[in-house]
Amino acid sequence: MIRSYTAADQEALLALNAANVPDVGPMDEDKLALFVAEALRLDVVELDGLIEGALVVLGDRTSYRSPNYRWFAERHERFAYVDRVMLSEATRGQGWGQALYDLAVTTARALGKPVLAAEVNMLPPNPRSVRFHQGFGFVEVGRQRPYGPDEEVAMFELSLDPEPVTAR
């Protein structure tokens, strides 16, 4: 099941994040505290009592200093940003990534955000995430090397057109 993060999840979430590096950036207790305080969504996938996945979505007005987040903040007045999605090896390919991103889209639309943004590592390569984002409808809009010549990220955006209004 997908549910909101609670303080009791801290140790498991930090361990899950560490297991997902370099596909996601490192996360310590301070960064997690910032996410708890400022995230639009901080959800976990709990299966059989274990934290097997997580989602962090930030809005456009946070104190987060990530250069990737700031890249989007410089280009959009209003947006939602998927900072990280993490899944355990055991849960990959079972639809949890799709379910987590569906929640991100639903939240962003409900808050009137016209864009859902995310970045994906190109160096080191993360082809699984590139395929996932492209399949979900994201479009690559730029690249940057915020941490030096050995790391590159592709910047992806999903346009969130308002839900169509149906006549009654």
> How does DSSP assign 124-146, residue by residue?
TT-HHHHHHHHHHT-EEEEEE-T
pLDDT at 166 over 60: no
Q: Phi and psi of 41, rounded to 5°?
A: -140, 135
pLDDT at 156 over 60: yes
Predicted local confidence at residue 161, as pLDDT = 77
User: How sure is the predictor about 167, in pLDDT bands with cuts at 50, 70 and 90?
Assistant: low
Alpha helix segments (H runs only) across 74-126: 96-110
Predicted local confidence at residue 4, as pLDDT = 98
pLDDT at 165 over 90: no
- Domains in the chain (CATH in brackets) are 2-159 (3.40.630.30)
3-state secondary structure of 48: coil
For the segment 46-70, the average pLDDT, to the nearest whole number, is 96
Give percent of the chain with pLDDT exceeding 70: 96
> Closest Cα partner for 143 from 153, 133, 128?
153
pLDDT tens digits, one per residue of 3-23? 999 999 999 999 999 999 988
Give percent of the chain with pLDDT exceeding 90: 91
For the segment 99-114, the average pLDDT, to the nearest whole number, is 97
pLDDT at 163 over 60: no
